[in-house]
Structure 1
């Protein structure tokens, strides 16, 4: 699966839907899930955070009330999957440090655990994942060593090459917006599709068919940090 990023609400929702589709797949024990790096708004200066509602209002030329309504639409999709989602008080900023920390977690066999915690902290709790102390707390909760996590965050070069290589690999797989899932390098699934779509794709990938785009258009976030909020509820059936 590629790629995933903690700041994209549709990745948060899409991960939950993928896992529901995977849970019903007869060969799920033979599926290896790989998360690849994809930065939202990579030009955003490190340490410069803004409130999500303010960011959405500026990016889309909406009023604050309209931006809140956009967030409520996404929240409804998240809550339908049993996920927590705060529409106010969340930060938006540069995600490169957490990608680096996720690569440390990958090296220690705890990447999915850290990613899941980072999603929950970002979307469901009032914990800024752009704060180094919060990231260390999450790393420890995921089973990583606190001192090792701090050392990675303190060294801007630590795992930087791995993140860049991962971004290139994701691009080569066809990812220009997220969430984007690739099954067995043959099937591409774009957007936060329903669990049923993932279940169908897993069955088809198991049969070793050629690469096929599955599910049509669905909500996604591009590399500039723009997240679609379609009127139909973001990819739900």
Structure 2
């Protein structure tokens, strides 16, 4: 069975959702028969290379919030990440174009090192003092993941290298109806939107393994196609996070 995951390195719910999915996969009896493929989705496709801003400034502009509110938003996400054993810096992170990162992830896929590079990029972006929007940092991460430095630099120097693969992934996401990430497609039978709890992923894997029906499971936190990441405004919203993880299944199509 193949699981395809559309995500963006700039999306905190993708970072958290990947960890939750992997926990759910670990609880699946047929996990050794599952192939996981990561696919590209840019949350800010119009942003030029080199145009970086502080995440807090981007969130303030997008949501029209003050500094205290933005810090509270980031602390909420940080709490969710830490509950999954993930590091998360709620201040001092950059936001920029992820197109080059996606191109390198396709190179890494071709070399069998995609998951390694994705994990390193997520950790650098969300937990460490390293900006994934700096080209030299990106080169070092790719080399850490096991890619050849010469090949990495050749790809980064050629804007057309793997560009078509990135655009194909994004076009396919649109055709499948994905308007936010993370977006999981299990064997082209089941779609899951958002960073669901691990047990939801385990149940979905079991359903996809034996089902011929395409079903959409919604309700998890996502970053949408406009780059907005769902964050509750109030304590009552925060309390509802657990309830939102209990997703309702809606039949959308048949294979």
**For the superposition of Structure 1 and Structure 2, which TM-score range results when normalised by the shorter chain?**
over 0.9
Match of 1:92 in 2: 95
Q: Does 1:103 align with 2:110?
A: no
Normalising by structure 2, report the TM-score: 0.90
> What is the distance in 2 between the residues matched to 1:213 and 1:204?
12
> What is the distance in 2 between the residues matched to 1:115 and 1:222?
20
1:1-237 alignment, distance < 5 Å: 1-214=4-217, 216-230=218-232, 231-232=237-238, 233=241, 235-236=244-245
Structure 1 residue 236: Cα displacement: 4.7
> What is the distance in 2 between the residues matched to 1:223 and 1:204?
28
> What is the distance in 2 between the residues matched to 1:125 and 1:192?
22
Answer whether contact 1:42 1:223 (CA < 8 A) is retained.
Answer: no
More strand by share: 2
Answer whether contact 1:191 1:217 (CA < 8 A) is retained.
Answer: yes
Q: Deviations over 1:35-81 (max 9, x none)?
A: 11000111112101000011101100000111110000000000000
Structure 1 residue 149: Cα displacement: 0.6
Answer whether contact 1:102 1:111 (CA < 8 A) is retained.
Answer: yes
Answer whether contact 1:2 1:170 (CA < 8 A) is retained.
Answer: no
Q: Aligned to 2:213, what secondary structure does the other structure show?
A: coil
Q: Deviations over 1:139-186 (max 9, x none)?
A: 011000011111111111111111111111222232110011110101
Q: Aligned to 1:211, what secondary structure does the other structure show?
A: strand
Q: Aligned to 2:185, what secondary structure does the other structure show?
A: strand
- Structure 1 alignment gaps of length 5 or more: none
* Cα RMSD, aligned residues only: 1.2
> What is the distance in 1 between the residues matched to 2:55 and 2:205?
34
Q: Aligned to 1:36, what secondary structure does the other structure show?
A: strand
> What is the distance in 1 between the residues matched to 2:149 and 2:13?
29
Answer whether contact 1:186 1:212 (CA < 8 A) is retained.
Answer: yes
